[in-house]
Amino acid sequence: MGTLDGLLVVSLEQAVAAPFVSSRLADAGARVIKIERPEGDFARNYDDVVKGNSAYFVWLNRGKESIAMDLRQPSEISLLKSLLEKADVLIENFKTGSLQKIGLDLTEIRKANPRLITCSISGYGSQGEWAAMKAYDLLIQAETAIASITGSADAPGRVGVSIADIAAGMYSHSAVLEALIARGNGGRGRHIEVSLFDALADWMAVPLLWYDYGGKAPERVGLAHPSICPYGAFKTSDGKIILLSIQNEREWKRFCADILEDSDYSAKFPDNSSRVKNRKEVDDLVDHVIGRMPHAEVAARLKKTEIAYGTLNEVQDFSNHPVLRRAVISMAAAEIQIPAPPAIFNNKPTELLGNVPELNQHGEEIRAEFAKTEIID
């Protein structure tokens, strides 16, 4: 039994952001009906690396029912409205204005079902000249300047996963849950709007505050921290990369005494601000000391000194990480293991998630359940 058992979610979804929301609601026990185009969600064909299926699609579509609908047809709109009369939540991330073009007015839909919560996810919001702009993840990373503070000093870079989509999905998920709580108190649903731009804008609050009130944006420093030193990556004598972080002056003194083996050096740059201003000298010294020791020795000494550290892993290393928890999902082709949901309730980690549907796998049953029967005199 899940927390959201009995909840009906209808999702007009594609790609990443909306499927993220609905998959998390499905994980919690909601019944999720995924409405796809006749040719299917295009995310099905991003790649074929997971037993012939797209990695993103497998990750974000477990636990759902799939129905293929051609929403250009009046009969399909009628079926959709029938679904929404009984739904608790509608999620959609179609292009802004698309629903109106097919005759679906969310305000009217909520009048017919006042308890319905509607959630619209867009690139740049529903108002203004940017509303009609196409918005993909990397474009949002560029527009919000997150790409400008990511990468090496020589060049900006893309964050390696679709963070704009994922962030918008996370905010939408929490907003839907908030609206469900509010409905429990007041009995009525709400309309929610979340944009990819706003989601990443919130994540960019600190760099923006730096610029707006400090007059300078954080530097792009690769595997280092723009405002803390030492905090970054250093190569050990056996060629591995270890990252370490000094968070306060007590740690700095221990680090100088036990790792740099020079207690007096802590007094030369006694606070973080002075170390950041002299980053090159500090990092060069740390690099020299770390470079004389193999990874295992560095890790052991940092652990003993209670200095936070981590290793720069490849994906292969992550796949075998001792802390990585996995959960199982099923597809037509095979069982697949993915990272388990982060939240653990009552000390019981989630080990089994819902199945990934084939295109229109549940179409016949859904049509039979929600088709309106005309009474003929």
Q: Which of 61-65, 153-157, 182-186, 350-354 has the highest mean pLDDT?
A: 61-65
Specify the residue for token string 């990819």: 196
User: How many Cβ atoms sit within 10 Å of the Cβ of residue 352?
Assistant: 11
**Is the pLDDT confidence value at 231 over 90?**
yes
Q: What percent of the chain has pLDDT over 90?
A: 83
Vertex 369, ends 7 and 17: CA angle to 5°? 45
Over residues 245-277, the pLDDT tens digits come to: 999 999 999 999 999 999 999 999 999 999 999
pLDDT digits (tens, 9 = 90+) for 96-109: 888 888 888 899 89
Neighbours of 140 (CB within 10 A): 26
Say what the pLDDT of residue 101 is.
Answer: 86
* 223 HSE (CA, 13 A, CB side): 13
Residues 289-312 pLDDT 10s: 999 999 999 999 999 999 999 999
pLDDT digits (tens, 9 = 90+) for 141-159: 999 999 999 998 889 999 9
The answer to whether the beta carbons of residues 49 and 59 sit under 8 Å apart is: no
Contact 327, 341 (CB under 8 A): yes
Specify the DSSP class assigned to residue 228.
S
Residue 143: partners with Cβ closer than 8 Å, 6 or more residues away: 197
- Give residue 1's pLDDT: 64
**Interacting residues of 345 by C-beta distance below 8 A, sequence separation 6+:** none
Mean pLDDT of all residues in 81-100: 91
Q: pLDDT by residue (tens digit) across 323-361?
A: 999 999 988 878 999 999 999 999 998 888 999 999 999
Tell me the three-class secondary structure of 282-340, residue by residue.
HHHHHHHHHCCCCHHHHHHHHHHHCCEEEECCCHHHHHCCCCCCEEEEECCCCEEEEEC
231-311 shares the fold of 8-204+323-370: no
Q: What is the mean pLDDT of the chain?
A: 92
Where are the chain's structural domains? 8-204+323-370, 231-311
Q: What is the pLDDT of residue 376?
A: 42
Residues of the chain with pLDDT > 70, as a percent, come to 98
Averaging pLDDT over each range in 49-53, 195-199, 367-371, which range is the top one?
Answer: 195-199
| CATH number, domain 231-311 | 3.30.1540.10
Fold of 8-204+323-370: Rossmann fold (3.40.50)
140, 143, 146, 149 alpha-carbon torsion, rounded to 10°: 150
The answer to whether 229 and 276 have CB atoms below 8 angstroms apart is: yes
* pTM beyond 0.85, yes or no: yes
